[in-house]
Amino acid sequence: MSPLIQNIVLKKSKAEKIVMLTAYDYAMAAILDRSGVDIILVGDSLANVVLGLATTKEVGMDAMFSHARAVRAAVKNALVVVDMPFVSVQPDSSRALFHAKRFTEEAGCDAVKVEWFDKCPDVVRSLLAAGVPVMGHVGLTPQTAEKLGGVKVQGKAPDEAQKIIEQAKALADAGCFSVVIECVPEDLGRKITQELKVPTIGIGAGKHCDGQVLVLYDMLGLTSGKVPKFVKKYAEVSTLMTTAVQAYAREVRQGQFPDESQSFHS
């Protein structure tokens, strides 16, 4: 296990919360890294928030790979994890190792994240055997949301909750160094966190998880439209940007930009 991953795993025994956020480009990743975030996830939420696609299922390896490289180039301290997109693991997982190695060996990411599906533990074992560290993801798994009744809270009924506990345990037993739990009742987040030896990272899974993750664009107020209930907006960056862009447009139209201080003379 690399020292960076060991450091994340040890945080659970030290009861130190793990801070994770998504990033998709060089500039944003550099800010997150300078701010002391523990884990930066190149999430396949890239599909929704950056590429304007309807579902995460639609993003392919080429896009994930190029954004992973951009984030890697910026990050000096945090652990860089990248999502295995739907096409890299499903419906046929035979090439999952090939794609995962592109992320770690060519793009230089520290680990990959895999959303739960039936063959997930086997895929995790094969990646680990080849030296690729893996983070798991249970609860609401957006890549297969249609099989879960859509994008909604998972594990409300006791039998559903039990299924999610078993999935999380199967991923930890297969060797995942950490498991993301998305959109489940707080009690279920607590139960999984108590039962796993590896850290859990919650997104809409309550305060008892060992760490928290949010989609960067949601927490910065950059996402247009409605954000999920579990999002807390820490800024309204889209308002700031609109004000700045409108000021620029006004000054260009009125001939006020550029002025002397932005001009060259021979």
Q: Using CB under 6 A as the criterion, which residues of the chain lie in contact with ligand KIV when the complex forms?
A: 22, 43-45, 83, 180, 182, 203, 213, 215
Two tokens, residue 33: 């890294």
CB-closest chain residue to ligand KIV: 43
Where do we find the tokens 């995942």? 176
Nearest to 215 by CA among 80, 49, 54, 68: 49
**Helices 186-195 and 158-174 meet at what angle, rounded to 10?**
30
Helix, strand or coil, per DSSP, at residue 120: helix
The length of the chain in residues reads 266
Closest approach, Cβ 257 to ligand KIV, in A, equals 37
Two tokens, residue 94: 């035979």
Closest approach, Cβ 214 to ligand KIV, in A, equals 8
Catalytic residue among 58, 182, 186, 195: 182
In the complex with ligand KIV, the residue whose CB is nearer, 75 or 203, is: 203
In the complex with ligand KIV, the residue whose CB is nearer, 60 or 258, is: 60
Q: How far is the C-alpha of 18 from the C-alpha of 40, rounded, in Å?
A: 11
Closest approach, Cβ 215 to ligand KIV, in A, equals 5
In the complex with ligand KIV, the residue whose CB is nearer, 44 or 110, is: 44
Q: How far is the C-alpha of 95 from the C-alpha of 118, rounded, in Å?
A: 16
Q: Answer yes or no: 182 catalytic.
A: yes
Closest approach, Cβ 192 to ligand KIV, in A, equals 15
Residues paired with residue 21 on neighbouring β-strands, in sequence order: 40, 214
In the complex with ligand KIV, the residue whose CB is nearer, 100 or 253, is: 100
DSSP 3-67: HHHHHHHHHHHTTPPEEEEE--SHHHHHHHHHTT-SEEEE-TTHHHHTS--SSGGG--HHHHHHH
In the complex with ligand KIV, the residue whose CB is nearer, 180 or 260, is: 180
Closest approach, Cβ 216 to ligand KIV, in A, equals 9
CB 111 within 8 A of CB 81: yes
Q: How far is the C-alpha of 221 from the C-alpha of 214, rounded, in Å?
A: 12
Q: Which residues are catalytic?
A: 182
